[in-house]
Amino acid sequence: MKPVRLMSGFMTVGFWTLASRVLGFLREILIAAYIGPGPLLDAFVAAFRLPNLFRRFFAEGAFNAAFVPMFSKRVEAQEDAQGFAQDAFNLLGTAVLVLTALGMIFMPALVWATAGGFVGDERFDIATGFGRIMFPYIFFMSLAALFSGVLNAKGRFAAAAAAPVLLNVITCVAMVGASALGQDVVEWLVWTIPVAGLAQLLLVWVATVRSGTVLRPRLPRLTPEMVQLLKVAFPAALAMGVTQVNLVVGQIAASGYENAVSWLFIADRLYQLPLGVVGIAVGVVLLPDLSRRLRAGDETGAREALSRAGESSLLLTVPSAVAFLAIPMPLVSVMYQRGATGADDVAAIAVAVAIYGAGLPAFVLQKVLQPLYFAREDTKSPFRFALVAMVLNAALALGLQPVFGWVSPAIGATVAGWAMVALLWRGAARMGESAQFDARFRQRVLRITFAAAVMGLGLYGAALLLTPLLTAAYWRYFALLGLITFGAVLYFAVGQMVGALRLSEFKASFRRGAR
């Protein structure tokens, strides 16, 4: 995959992920307005986190990290990729079906393990009921992740990237419809989750069939290839799921504080916009590309792909992080302060957003560095690094509570994120030149940081001047849009002047993506 084609892959995945995240913003805005921080939202967050946690382990973690490189090599070598994918489909489907049944049966134990602070109040029973309804979502999404892996390995990124849009569209329609009909918004939202998961699965299944790979449900076979897949997948599950585990640890720490689970959830969703658009796009496109290059012995091309992926990720991530640090209150108040979400909630969420924002570049760099290991079928090293990061996160999230209270989970997640990057970077040094960023990357990172710092100062000053408008009932939307536009123009102007970016490269990528 040539650099321009690689960039067009980022753009394709990034576009659909951006659409999903924007609609996700709308979903969270509706949740905040209709439900708001409190027992119901705390219970919903805890229940919905359970299928997402296991999905990251079994699907996006284990199978994307282990399946995609192995499948990509078979596609490249014109070996029996179809048979390999069929066996993986059978094995994953059976395992997740059993997991779904066990999860629904033992849901009270899962809620107790992940939100111990709920025990003894109404949130525990509510979360248990919600969890049993939503847990089948993991079955649909795990299979959808495998089909997405097949499509990504073949260089077909659009359908897999577009599938998450369905979740947000369906849930938004359900909430608006419930409100219009005078029905229980939370109940409609909960029942909609598994329906949306089924819709996503059908979309990528049809796209996979059209790509020439037809997979049908059959009894699993534990072939030597599947044994090797499991050996690679097991440590990858934890390595890729470290972020979700850290969120669960944070939830355990926050569950003892009233409304804290809701505040952290809303803050997490806000910083997930750039993380999803950039980090997921880079990770999805980079892993199969690195796998092909390393199989072909193209060390120079692998280094080029890694460096350009790192460049692209930081180009948009660093200014986003600076914006979260510079103007968290305007962002949160305009986005979420309405309906059931009040000023006190906004102030708390803004603090968490700023802390998460400081860790945003680290969370994205993990997506860039982990494929270096997975492309070489090395999942044990990231596994060890993930253990260190999780221990550090837990120690800070729980140990800092006497000093920082409910916000300690955000501090723990941010520090653990940077620790994970440091470990991944240090481990990559043993892989040779193909796993090192080139001179252009190092130069541009400094320039990107400078341009983002200038933008941050400009945003902070502009926000002070626009304070009357940012707090006005209707003008605040236009004021925030103007503030963001000003920041973007300032960043790209300074970036172009100091050489942090080249607009010609973006134009070339868009032209390639359009073709």
Q: Is residue 442 part of a domain?
A: no
Q: Which residue has the tokens 């073709």?
A: 515
Q: Which of 413, 437, 461 is the last residue of a domain?
A: 437
Phi, psi of 337 (to 5 degrees): -80, 90
The DSSP secondary structure of 445-461, one letter per residue, reads HHHHHHHHHHHHHHHHH
In a shared domain, residues 317 and 425: yes
In a shared domain, residues 362 and 457: no
Mean of pLDDT values over 1-19 = 58
In a shared domain, residues 141 and 234: yes
Confirm if 112 and 26 have CB atoms less than 8 A apart: no
Confirm if 266 and 336 have CB atoms less than 8 A apart: yes
Tens of pLDDT, residue by residue over 384-397, are: 888 899 899 999 99
In a shared domain, residues 410 and 482: no
In a shared domain, residues 77 and 124: yes
In a shared domain, residues 372 and 509: no
In a shared domain, residues 464 and 411: no
Q: What is the pLDDT of residue 64?
A: 64
Q: What is the pLDDT of residue 81?
A: 78
In a shared domain, residues 140 and 182: yes
H or E segment to which residue 114 belongs: helix 107-114
Tens of pLDDT, residue by residue over 61-78, are: 566 667 777 777 777 666
Tens of pLDDT, residue by residue over 79-117, are: 677 888 888 888 888 988 999 999 999 999 999 998 888
Tens of pLDDT, residue by residue over 108-145, are: 999 999 888 898 889 999 999 999 999 999 999 888 88
Tens of pLDDT, residue by residue over 331-368, are: 999 888 888 888 899 999 999 999 999 999 998 888 88
Could you tell me where the DSSP H helices lie in 221-298? 224-240, 242-254, 260-274, 281-295
The chain-wide mean pLDDT, for the chain, equals 83
Range of the domain at 430: 3-437
In a shared domain, residues 424 and 466: no
Q: Which residue has the tokens 């359970």?
A: 50
Question: Could you give the percent of the chain with pLDDT greater than 70?
Answer: 85
Tens of pLDDT, residue by residue over 221-231, are: 888 888 887 77
Q: Is residue 328 part of a domain?
A: yes
Tens of pLDDT, residue by residue over 412-453, are: 999 999 999 999 999 888 887 777 888 888 899 999 999 999
Q: Is residue 446 part of a domain?
A: no
Tens of pLDDT, residue by residue over 145-203, are: 888 878 877 777 677 778 888 889 999 999 999 999 999 999 999 999 999 999 999 99
Tens of pLDDT, residue by residue over 232-282, are: 777 666 666 666 677 788 888 888 888 888 899 888 888 777 776 665 556
Pick the closest to residue 170 from 202, 143, 147, 217 (CA basis).
Answer: 202
Q: In the predicted model, is pLDDT for residue 511 greater than 60?
A: no
- Per-residue confidence at 2, pLDDT binned at 50, 70, 90? very low
- The Cβ of residue 238 has, within 10 Å, a number of other Cβ atoms equal to 21
In a shared domain, residues 415 and 456: no
Pick the closest to residue 325 from 344, 361, 353, 348 (CA basis).
Answer: 353
In a shared domain, residues 468 and 354: no
How many structural domains is the chain composed of?
2
Q: Is residue 444 part of a domain?
A: no
Q: Is residue 443 part of a domain?
A: no
Question: Could you give the percent of the chain with pLDDT greater than 90?
Answer: 37
